[in-house]
Amino acid sequence: MTKDILLAHPWFAPCLAALIAVPLALVVHRIGGMVLLRLTRHAPVVHAMLLNIQGPARFVLPLIALQMVWQAAPEDLAFINSVRHVNGLLFIAAATWLAIRAVNGIADGVLAKHPHDVEDNLQARRVLTQTRVLARTAGTVLLVAGASLMLMTFPGARQVGASLLASAGVIGIVAGLAAKPVFSNLIAGLQIALAQPIRIDDVLVVEGEWGRVEEITGTFVVLRIWDDRRLILPLSYFIEKPFQNWTRSSAQLLGSVFIYADYGMPLAPLREEVERIVKSAPEWDGRFFNLRVTDATDRTMQIRVLCTAASSSLAFDLRCTVREGLIDFMQREYPQFLPRLRVEGGPQSQAEVEAAAPSTTRLSSASRG
């Protein structure tokens, strides 16, 4: 009797179909995933994407199977519309998750093909910056689109969902709204990804601080200062304000060292010493160096040394090495020509000495007299 009642229940056939469809979908996911991973072993981008979407696909395929079962159920079945609605919401959420993971997987595959931990990593850093910024931007757009589609399934919220979806589709219009910093940063992120005024690991001088670009997010840039502090700047800063990029086209840099010496200092020994110091320094890249007198004051002459290095950090170390070497050389060989204040003239009378002395000294002498 109970068995007959159960078999006659209108929900029996849909539930039985659902119990069969879900395991079948999971089997398809398992076998299909193994086959696709094996076929894409030599395609790192697609392989990385498939690895990333395995988790979401485990939910998407059963939800698709369930939605097919509910759609095939009779229209007069009690609560079928609510079940279809809930299943549809879960499917949209899972599909959005899968799409975001797919974008991240493609980004991981692209980055794996362009490792940036090599000596000449200029091209790799370009790819790294573009990939990360575009992946985060695409993830944001997909998330907004998914939320909009879920809202549009509710009759009372369709207008709100349509508005959000339209905003995601014409987001370039929002760039003109200065009161929307989030969208402004989103557009700035796209500009940075395409034009690349900065890249990951670029050496910048911003707000008087020297550092490397450590991270570029969807809204801000993290600059690692030389003393391990972090400077956080919005993306729009690098579109609207000037800054120095020491590695824009190449990491090679020309460093300068300035020292001051008395006019009696011969230049030939200094040039020989500069050549010896630079050529023996491991930081020098072998491109160029020279020594020139670039300025002269009433007391000293300004001597400039130029030398090249393969990166900004090596250039800094090379400048310090050259500066220390020249100071040591002058202290050892020509100490008499180090900068000093000289006072020349014959013996002065007592009146001239008192006139040149501070007023407090004259007052003291008067009181003693």
**pLDDT (tens digit per residue) in 2-48:** 556 656 667 778 888 888 888 999 999 899 888 988 888 888 888 88
Q: Where are the alpha helices (DSSP H) in the chain?
A: 2-8, 12-39, 44-52, 54-72, 80-113, 122-152, 158-169, 171-174, 181-195, 237-240, 267-280, 312-333, 350-356, 359-368
Average pLDDT of the residues in 126-136: 80
Position with higher pLDDT, 323 vs 195:
323
Question: What H or E segment, with its residue span, contains residue 338?
Answer: none
246 has pLDDT over 90: no
Average pLDDT of the residues in 116-123: 62
255 has pLDDT over 70: yes
Average pLDDT of the residues in 210-233: 88
Q: Is 262 left (phi over 0), alpha (psi -120 to 50) or beta?
A: beta
Which region among 54-58, 171-175, 257-261, 334-338 has the lowest average model confidence (pLDDT)? 171-175
Position with higher pLDDT, 123 vs 201:
201
Average pLDDT, the chain: 80
